Structure 1
Amino acid sequence: MYCVKFIVTGTVQGVGFRYHTKITAHALGLAGFAKNLPDRSVEVVVTGNPDKIAELELWLQKGPVMAKVSSVTREQVDYLLCDGFEIY
């Protein structure tokens, strides 16, 4: 298993970004979480198949309809055991 942390910036809070990330991650068979950060960005940590994580990364670059993503940074992190996908 593979674990990656993404930081998504832009208009990503108050637009359903975390909810739609959860739906997309679940559809891809990924586990992890999404949470709002104080600087108005969203942190997304996912574990799973590297190919599916790459698919999620492509989706994160656009996000849901109301979002305006400015940037997505990616960092491989130590494996985090997650059960499902949570929103914080």
Structure 2
Amino acid sequence: MKTIKLEVYGLVQGVGFRFMTKKLADELGVKGIVMNRNDGSVYIEAQADPMTLQQFISQVKLSPSPSGRVDDVRIDEIDHAPYKDFSVTYQ
């Protein structure tokens, strides 16, 4: 199990991006969190096996929301205790 954080920039707030990201995560079996940030970006922590994470990253880069647009994604591996599910959180 690997855990990564993604910082997603573009048109990613107000377009259903978090909820579509949760739907994608649930379909792939990814655990973690997604939340809006004050700077207009979206923050994601995702936990799964490396192949599944690659699929997840690819879909996030394409924007899981049809109304969204992803301009940049910054990805780093992090240490985190196991997540139980994938949830939309609020700051």
Instruction: Name the TM-score class by shorter chain.
Output: over 0.9
Q: Note the alpha carbon deviations across 1:8-32, whole angstroms, 9 max, x for none.
A: 0000000000000001011111100
Structure 2 runs not aligned, ≥5 long: none
- 1:61 match: secondary structure: helix
1:40 alignment partner in structure 2:
40
TM-score by structure 2 length? 0.93
1:19 alignment partner in structure 2:
19
Shift of 1:49: 0.9
Shift of 1:78: 0.4
Shift of 1:81: 1.9
Q: How many residues align?
A: 88
Distance 1:36 1:42 in 2: 5
Q: Residue type matched to 2:55 in 1? A: E
Structure 1 runs not aligned, ≥5 long: none
- 2:7 match: secondary structure: strand
Root-mean-square deviation (CA), in Å?
0.8
Q: Which runs of 4+ in 1 moved over 3 A?
A: none
2:49 alignment partner in structure 1:
49
- 1:46 match: secondary structure: strand
Instruction: Name the % identity.
Output: 30
